[in-house]
Structure 1
Amino acid sequence: MKVKIKHIEWRDGRPRFKPGPGLREKGHKPQDLKHPNGRWFTQGEALDWSNEFVRALTAAKAENVPAAFPAVPVMARKKTPAVYPVSKLMDEWLKSPRVLCKAPATIKDYKQKTRVIENHDPDLWAAEVLALDQTICYGLYEDLWTSRGLATARGALVVLGMAIKWGMRSGRLKGLSINPARDLDMQQPDPRARFLTKEEFDCLVATAEGEKFRRIDIADMLFCGVWTSQRQYDRLHLKQSAFRNGRFVLRQNKTSAIVNPPVATPYQARLDAALERRNSKGVISPYAHLNENTWAPWNDYTYRNLFSDIRAEAAKKIPTIKTVMEKDLRATGVTWMALAGNTLPQICAVSGHSLQGAHMILKHYLALHPEMATTAIGNLVTWYEGGGSSDLAI
C-alpha cells in the first residue's frame, strides 16, 4: 500500500507528478517521476521530491517567480550479492548437529558428494539457493549421470536435497516452499547382488591361513563377517564385553539398531582359539579381534589392504573371487540365512537390517535360486498332504 504524497499520484505502483488546477495555470504539467537513467523513484525518493517541490513553491511565491522542479540525486545501485549461496548452505549443513551426529564414514560420504557438485558446476555452487528450481536440479542430475555415472548423480542430488530440507526447516530458506532437489524421478542404480558361495568362502579362509599369509586373524574376521552379518566398522570395533551367555549384544554404529543374537558355533570356535593365542602372549585388550602382528586393534586401512591381497591370491584358485568385496560378507550372511529357510524378521533380528533393506538384498538373486525353490515346494507339499486349510479365519 502506497502512502499519500502531496502532488503525487500512483499508477501501478509508479509515482507521477499531478499538479492541481492552480499549478497547471502556472505552466506545470503532469509527468512521470523517473531518474535520468530510467529508474522510477522509490516511495522514499518520491516523498523527498514532494517535500523539496513544496519548499520551492513556498520560496517562489515569496519572490513572485515560477517554482522550479527540485533535483533528486540518482542513488547508485549496488550489485546485490547472493544472499545465501549453495556453497554456504552446504558448509553450514555439514557443520550442523544434524550431520555431526552421524558416523564418520557417513560424514565423509556426504562431503565427497558435496565436492562432486562443487567441482562439476562452480556456477551453481556460487548461485543463490532460492534461485534453484526443479528444472535446474534435474539438469544437474542428468549432467552428472552422463559424466560421472548414475550412482554418483543420484547420490549428489540426494545430499543436495537433504541440505535444502535442513535449510528450510532451520529458517535459512524462508522464501522456499518446495524443495527443488526432491521428487526428481531419479533412476535407481542396479543394486549390487553378490554373495559368496561356500567354496569361495572356504578358499578365502584357506588362503588367509595358508603358507603365504599365515593370517589366522584375517580368517577370524571372515568368519565374523558371515556369521554375524554385521558391517565392517562394527566388526572391527567389536568388544569382548559384547559377548554374554552365548550371545552378543551390539548397538550398530550407523543406525543405532540393537541386535542380540546367539553366537554361531563356527564363529565361537574362532573366538575361543583367538583368546587362547592372546592369553599365551599375555595380551590384554577389550577388543574381540586384534591385528595379531601388532596385537593392537584393527585399523580400516591395514585390514582393507590385507583383505585385498588375500582376495587377489585366492582368485588364482577360484577366479570369481576377484569380484568379491569385503562388504559382501554381510550380504553373504543374510543370503545364507535365507537359504537355510529363515524368514525376513528372523534374518533382521541377526543382521539389524530393516525389513525393506533385507528384502532389497534378497530379491535380486534368490527368486530363481534352486535351493529356495526346492524348499518352497517342499513346504507346500507338506502343508497340502498334512490337511492344511485354505479357509480364512474370521
Structure 2
Amino acid sequence: MKKSKGPRIPLVAWRDGRPRYVPSATARARGEKGQDLKHPSGSWFTYEQAFEWSQEKRAALSASSHAGGAERAPAAPAGPARGTLPAAPRRPATGRSGRTLAHIVTDFTDRSPRMLGKDIVEGRKVRPALAPKTAQYYRDAASLVRRLDGGDFWARPAEAWHPETISLLLDRAEVCHGLAQARAVRAMLSQAFANEVKLRHRKNNPMRFLEERLPVLPPRVRYGSVEEIRHLVAAADLVGRPEVGDMVLQGVWTGQRQADRLSLTHAQLRDLTLAFRQAKKGGQPLEIPVARLLEKRLAATARRRQQREDALREGGTPVVVWPHVNLDEKAGRPFKSKHYQHVFREVANAAAWGLWRVPAEDGGPPALATVVPSGRPAPRHIGTLALARLPARGAVEVLPPMPSLLDLRDQDLRDTAVTWLARAGADKMEIASITGHSLKTIDQILQHYFGLHPDLAKRAIGKLEDWYMGAEG
C-alpha cells in the first residue's frame, strides 16, 4: 500500500490512513516484527488508540531493553461485546484532561459533521456542509501544524493553549511557511477551538482574545505576457503534458478558475460554445464562444484521447470513458486539484529553467532534460531528466530558459484573461460576461489592470486626439 502522511505517532506508520507498527532496526534485531494495529473484530485502531498503544509499546521496549529480556508487544484492545457500544479510548496523560492540540484539531477535521460533508439541521437551524475545497484548506493547515517544529505544538496539552501560546504558534508558522499559511492556520484554529467549546471541553475560544492581528495579504497582480503563455504551452507539449497546455489556454481564453476548468465536461461544449456555471459562491451561468486557437487545441486533445482508447481496446484493456474535457493523460482519469497544481508547477519550472536534448548514457536515443538549480526539487510528474549541469558535449537546446515563469501560477491565468481583454479594447461589461465577475465589483477588480500596460494609455491618447481633431472643426 502507498504510505500516506497520516498523524505522526512513534513506532506507527500510516498506510492509506491505516496504522501499522514499524519496529526500529534495533528492535527487529531482537526479533520484533511489524503488525497491523487492529482490534480482534478486524476494525482498525483510531488515532487515540494507536497513540495509546504506541505509549505502552515504547514503555515495554524500554523496560525490556533495561532488563535484557525479550520484548513483547502490548495486546490490541479487546473488541466490544456483541450488541454493546465500544468504550471511549483512554486519552494519553499529557495534561489534566489528557487532551492535546492534536485532539482539538482532529475532533474538528475528522469528526465535525460539516467537515465530513454533512448538513446540520436542528429544527429551523440549518448549516450547510463545508465545500470540499474549504474542508481541504482546513486539513492542510492542520497538517502544517502537525509538522511544525517536529510536532512540538501538536502534542502540547489543551490546558496550555492561551492567546500567548497561539501567538507563538502563528509566529512560527509565518516564519517557517509565510503569511498566507499563517492566516490559514489561524482560520483553522478558530474553527477548531469553536468546535471544542461546542463539545464543552472548554469554556471559551482563546482565538477571540488574540491582541495581534495578522496583516491582510496584498492583492496579487500578475498576468502573463503573450510570450510567457506561448513558452509555457510549448514546454507542456515538450515534456509530455499537453493537457497542462490545454488548461493554460482555457484559462487565458475563458478566464475561468482552475476548479471550473478541471470539472469541465463535454456536455458543456455545445456548438463551439463553452457553458460554465462557476462553482464559487454560486456563480452565474456563462456562455463563452470558443476562440479559434482553443478550438484547434480541443480537436487535438480529442484525437489524442481517441488514439489512447483505441490502443487500450486493442490490448484487451477495459476503457473508462470520462465525461471530463481535461484528464490526467498519464493516469487516464480526471485530475485531482493538488496533483494538477504539482504538475503545473513542474511544467512552469521546466519552462523557466529551459529544456535540452542530451545524449543517453547507454547510447540510446537522446533524452529530454532540464537543469534544476541547487536546492530546488527535481521533477516527478513530467517526462524530463533532472540534471545538476549540462554534459560537456552533445546537449541541444530545444526551449530556452524564461526565468520570469518561476512566479507564474495557474490562478494568474484568470488575471491574464482580464488584462488581455482590456488590452484588446473590451469594456467592463464585456469582460464581466467572459470572466463572470459581478457588476458590483468589476470596477474595483479592473483598477488593478487598466494601468498596467502602456497599450491602454496609447489607445486612450489616440481616442483623445481623434476627439480633439473633431472638436477643432
* Cα deviation code 1:94-134 (max 9, x no counterpart): 232333344544433312322444545538952249x634x
How many equivalent residue pairs? 304
Between the aligned partners of 2:232 and 2:262, the Cα distance in structure 1 is: 18
CA distance 1:375–1:183, shift in 2 (3 Å) = farther
Task: Please name the residue that 1:221 is paired with.
Answer: 247
- Deviation of 1:196 (Å): 1.1
Which has more strand, going by share of residues?
Answer: 2
- Deviation of 1:319 (Å): 3.0
Q: Is 1:126–2:157 an aligned residue pair?
A: yes
Q: Is 1:275–2:302 an aligned residue pair?
A: yes
CA distance 1:83–1:231, shift in 2 (3 Å) = same
CA distance 1:163–1:214, shift in 2 (3 Å) = closer
Task: Please name the residue that 1:91 is paired with.
Answer: 106
CA distance 1:381–1:155, shift in 2 (3 Å) = farther
Which has more helix, going by share of residues?
Answer: 1
CA distance 1:150–1:302, shift in 2 (3 Å) = closer
Between the aligned partners of 1:86 and 1:245, the Cα distance in structure 2 is: 55
Percentage of pairs with the same residue: 30
Contact 1:193/1:361 (CA < 8 Å) preserved in 2? no
Contact 1:141/1:153 (CA < 8 Å) preserved in 2? yes
Between the aligned partners of 1:159 and 1:291, the Cα distance in structure 2 is: 31
Task: Please name the residue that 1:338 is paired with.
Answer: 422
* Cα deviation code 1:333-384 (max 9, x no counterpart): 2332333344556545433456798778755565343223334555667788
Between the aligned partners of 1:296 and 1:251, the Cα distance in structure 2 is: 22
Q: Is 1:287–2:308 an aligned residue pair?
A: no
CA distance 1:353–1:181, shift in 2 (3 Å) = farther
Contact 2:190/2:205 (CA < 8 Å) preserved in 1? no
* Cα deviation code 1:242-278 (max 9, x no counterpart): 1235433334455443431313313233223433554
Contact 2:266/2:324 (CA < 8 Å) preserved in 1? yes
Q: Is 1:327–2:357 an aligned residue pair?
A: no
- Deviation of 1:203 (Å): 1.9
Contact 1:225/1:232 (CA < 8 Å) preserved in 2? yes
Task: Please name the residue that 2:187 is paired with.
Answer: 158
Between the aligned partners of 1:327 and 1:349, the Cα distance in structure 2 is: 19
Partner SS, residue 323 of structure 2: coil
Contact 1:137/1:181 (CA < 8 Å) preserved in 2? no
- Structure 2 unaligned spans of 5+: 1-93, 118-129, 311-320, 355-399
TM-score (norm 1): 0.60
* Cα deviation code 1:11-62 (max 9, x no counterpart): xxxxxxxxxxxxxxxxxxxxxxxxxxxxxxxxxxxxxxxxxxxxxxxxxxxx
- Structure 1 unaligned spans of 5+: 1-78, 388-394
Contact 1:137/1:180 (CA < 8 Å) preserved in 2? no
Larger-gyration structure (1/2) = 1
CA distance 1:254–1:182, shift in 2 (3 Å) = farther
Between the aligned partners of 1:162 and 1:97, the Cα distance in structure 2 is: 13
Between the aligned partners of 1:117 and 1:306, the Cα distance in structure 2 is: 25
1:13-92 alignment to 2 at 5 Å? 81-82=96-97, 86-92=101-107
Partner SS, residue 161 of structure 1: helix
Q: Which moved more, 1:249-258 or 1:191-200?
A: 249-258
Task: Please name the residue that 1:74 is paired with.
Answer: none
Between the aligned partners of 2:240 and 2:98, the Cα distance in structure 1 is: 60
